Structure 1
Amino acid sequence: MTSTHVVVTDTADRPRGSDFALLTKELKTAGLLDRRRGYYLLRMTANALLLGTIAVAFALLGDSWWQVLTAAVLAVASTQLAFIGHDAGHRQIFRSHRNNDVVGHLHGSLTGISYQWWVAKHNRHHANPNHEDQDPDIEIHALAFSRAQAAEKRGLNSWITKHQAFLFFPLLTAEAAVLRISGLVALCRKELRNPWREAALQIVPLAAYLLAVFVVLSPLKAVVFIAVHQGLMGVYLGCSFAPNHKGMPIIAQGQRLDHLHKQVLTSRNVTGGRWVDALLGGLNHQIEHHLYPHMPRPNLRRAQPVVENFCLRHGIPYCKTTMIRSYAEVLRHLHDAGAPLRGKAR
């Protein structure tokens, strides 16, 4: 079925607890919950080679406007590194928490995103996707994901929310910077464990990055390089996460759903083949990912038809659509959510 708004009904009193266990048994029997360390080794090797190539190209090009292309390629590489950090945060790569954390912290330092801060935030999202007052991904000052949220906006945030469908993609250019700053703010507020380690992981790579850019490039070119790199990385990250839940049902306060319904009804899959898997880091299989966050990325594609068939047999709406339609649905939803503010202006 293609993506539509689904009415979320209360399932607290429905005997659905065993459904998830049955689905898990199917997937486990098929080996889809097994780790895929070889896949991740190849993926990380490819990313390392790409980073090395970018570094060599940056050094050889020197103080040239061609470095704008280097910045664009670096934005793609940085986002692919972030996908690995995401998978490590979900324990997809190794069974050992320690080994996953080593990979996650390394990739967080390379992307400028605090791994420890992000994991805590992202785990809250996974526990309560699209849940009012509990999902941090729908608690954004400048955006509203429901008309009720829009009615609470004031000042500049109110103006942005009123036009949020048109401003959404331009706003994404700040996403990478916002994630980086959020980690630094958490560090300054002493919200992170091992603050000296966190400071080293965030500040040392940032200082090395800025030093390299301003030593090799003139001040103007350096600023443009950073803007292109961080801006395109933000757009790439935002375009990878936005289709997953935006425009899907929002769970109201006090509404109770079992794990299976909560994850399936609030998530949307994006179709399109293996190239979409590579482009979006497997996050296009959002339903399967939310049901089984620890399932390795390459197994999500194989799990998708199993999960869809299971939902069909059990009468659970399963939402999937193309990439273009998913963005269109996100923008329509944002436009509708901002309607109360546009009404006030008339």
Structure 2
Amino acid sequence: MSRLCQVSIDDIARPEGRAQRGGDYARLSQRISEAGLLRRRPGYYVVRFATVGGLFAGAWVAFFALGDSWWQLLLAAALAVLFGQVALLAHDLAHRQVSRRRGATELAGLLVGNLGIGLSYGWWMDKHTRHHANPNHEELDPDVSPDLLVWSQNQARASSGVARFIGRRQAWLFFPLLTLEGFNLHVSGFRALFSGNLKRRGLEAVLLSTHVVAYLAAVFLVLSPGKAVLFILVHQGLWGVYMGSIFAPNHKGMPMFSGDAQPDFFRKQVLTSRNVLGGRFIDVALGGLNYQIEHHLFPAMPSVHLRKARPIVRDYCAELGVPYHETGLFASYREALRHMHDTGAPLR
């Protein structure tokens, strides 16, 4: 647990006093609204979609132009980054940052996510919505559910099999395991088709299948079998690492909750989130999610406004005495990995 946020967590999580604290978020919302930061930015998203879409299409044109060449492995790395940027656009669509229109937003999300990069928009949106409602809650946040990795010492003690073996060394294995995350995202989308929870299961199935067939057909028709397999491994592996590198700094190593011991909405979102600073390059690379505190407080806020919301939220937290944690990119990874190492202690 982050030492910056460990102070008085037990007191903050107590149910008494939540009523008067409920107004804290309302007052912050008023300040953010008065600053105009909740307004949609259609021009920004037109430029962003056009830029990412143009680069995405251009990369595939270059792929066919290069033909059966080892230079394709560099293009695979570039496409890994572009897949990540497309996923970030799908994320903004899911949060209604681009448009308030439900139908148009869902259709765009399905085209961008399912067809564009083979990521189930419906599955991811359900999972991510539950995460936002209860970040870092052991029983309610799917992002900290024990699987191959464990996120608390209680989960470590209850683990078995492969998870128990990996848990001993999970801090060292975290980034190598991320090379499998791209494949995991594809598989999870197809598994969700059989869960019965997707609203547009038929359409999602068609778009996911179309992506996979088109992707594999392009790779194996243009490249020799050996190069094709290497292209897929490099592309999907680096995409997984990039996705994990975007999301890992946001909450890993921050306070976790279990049972009913949770603070009010405002404190819950601030205490479990970490901001990552680093200038415009980090803003673009992480899609604005480096301002995770502001994003969790105002998920529908256009990502371009999160940077402007930061000083308002930071100053407000200082007024209330609520810990507001931000750090550099590599420091965020160190904190996350240190937490993972400490979490695995019962297994060593």
- Give TM-score, length-normalised by structure 2: 0.96
Deviation at 1:320, TM superposition (A): 0.4
Cα deviation per residue 1:253-280 (whole Å; 9 max; x = unaligned)? 1213111000000000001111111010
Query: Superposed, which structure 2 residues align to 1:161-172 within 5 Å?
Result: 161-172=167-178
> Which stretches in structure 2 are left out of the alignment for 5+ residues?
none
* Alignment partners' CA distance in 2, 1:155 and 1:23: 46
1:290 partner SS? helix
2:79 paired with 1:74: yes
Deviations 1:16-70 (A, max 9, x none): 1111111000010110000011111101100111012211211111011110011
CA distance in 2, matches of 1:122, 1:170: 24
1:175 counterpart = 2:181: yes
Q: Does 1:102 align with 2:107?
A: yes
1:183 Cα offset (Å): 0.9
Query: What value does the CA root-mean-square deviation take over the aligned residues?
Result: 1.2
Q: 2:243 aligns with which of 226, 237, 240?
A: 237
Residue of 28, 45, 49 corresponding to 1:44: 49
1:36 maps to amino acid: R
- For 2:5 and 2:319, the matched residues in 1 are separated by 20
Letter in 1 for 2:251: H
Shift of 1:11: 4.3
Taking the aligned partners of 2:15 and 2:117, their CA distance within structure 1 comes to: 41
Answering whether residue 299 of structure 2 is matched by residue 297 of structure 1, we say no
Question: What is the match of residue 212 of structure 1?
Answer: 218
| Deviation for aligned residue 1:5 | 4.1
Cα distance between partner residues in 2 of 1:64 and 1:104: 33
Name the SS of the counterpart of 1:321 in structure 2.
Answer: strand
For residues 196 and 321 of structure 2, the distance between their equivalents in structure 1, rounded to whole angstroms, comes to 47
Letter in 1 for 2:23: S
Which amino acid in the other structure matches residue 227 of structure 2? K
Match of residue 16, structure 2, among 13, 16, 21: 13
The corresponding residue for 1:335 is: 341
Among all aligned residue pairs of Structure 1 and Structure 2, give the percentage whose two residues are the same amino acid: 50
CA deviations 1:74-107 (Å, max 9, x no partner) are 0001000000000000000011112221221111
Per-residue CA deviation, residues 88-145 of structure 1 (Å, 9 max, x unaligned), is 0000001111222122111112111100010000000000000111000001311111
Alignment of 1:1-346 (within 5 A): 4-7=4-7, 8=9, 9-14=12-17, 15-109=20-114, 110-342=116-348
The runs of at least 4 consecutive aligned structure 1 residues that moved more than 4 Å come to none
TM-score, normalised on structure 1? 0.96
TM-fit CA distance, 1:6: 2.1
8 Å contact 1:271–1:284 — kept in the other structure? yes
Report the more deviating stretch, 57-66 or 283-292. Answer: 57-66
Number of residue pairs aligned between Structure 1 and Structure 2? 341
Partner of 1:190, secondary structure, is coil
**TM-aligned CA deviation for residue 326 of structure 1:** 0.3
CA–CA separation in structure 2 for the residues paired with 1:221 and 1:289: 40
For 1:38, give the aligned amino acid.
Answer: G
**Equivalent residues of 2:5, 2:271 under 8 A apart:** no
State the one-letter code of the partner of 1:271: L
